[in-house]
Amino acid sequence: MRNEVTDKESRRRLGRSVFALIVGSLVAIILSIGTDVGLHLLGMFPALGQPTSDPLLLLATAYRTLYGVFSSYVVARLAPDKPMQHALVGGVIGLVVSVGGAVATWNSGLGPHWYTLTLIALSIPAAWTGGKLRLMQLHGEMAAQ
């Protein structure tokens, strides 16, 4: 009987972990694509498939990094336990996606290599920051009790 309860709880925690990672990933994707589309509609970004200038890519780097921090916080907030580890797993997912994006666009002429390399370099620090924000929040909640 004890093993059944432990197995059930284990599956439940795994399900909550996967849910946290999916929701965090969706937050990052929706915010990033939504901002991209909005900036295209406002005429700030060039037409799709056209090269983007360095200042605009710097702007994209900034908001994607902020969205990475926020989505990692969401992952850590929804995690059943070990919020920092969950946030960092989300960061690894972001790292893999960023590497894939770099490989797919490396010789496309759509922009400079610094942009994709910067997204790769910032994915884990952004995830750590989001996890740290959640840990600080939890510490503040415990101190208030």
Q: Residue 119: give the domain boundaries.
A: 2-144
pLDDT of residue 22: 98
Task: Decide if 120 contacts 95 (C-beta within 8 A).
Answer: yes
DSSP 3-state of 48: coil
Sign of the Cα torsion 68, 71, 77, 81 reads negative
Instruction: List, for residues 101-141, the tens digit of each pLDDT value.
Output: 999 989 987 789 999 999 999 999 999 999 999 999 999 88
For the chain, how many residues are written? 145
Instruction: List, for residues 33-90, the tens digit of each pLDDT value.
Output: 999 999 999 999 998 878 889 999 999 999 999 999 999 999 999 999 999 999 999 9
Domains of the chain: total: 1
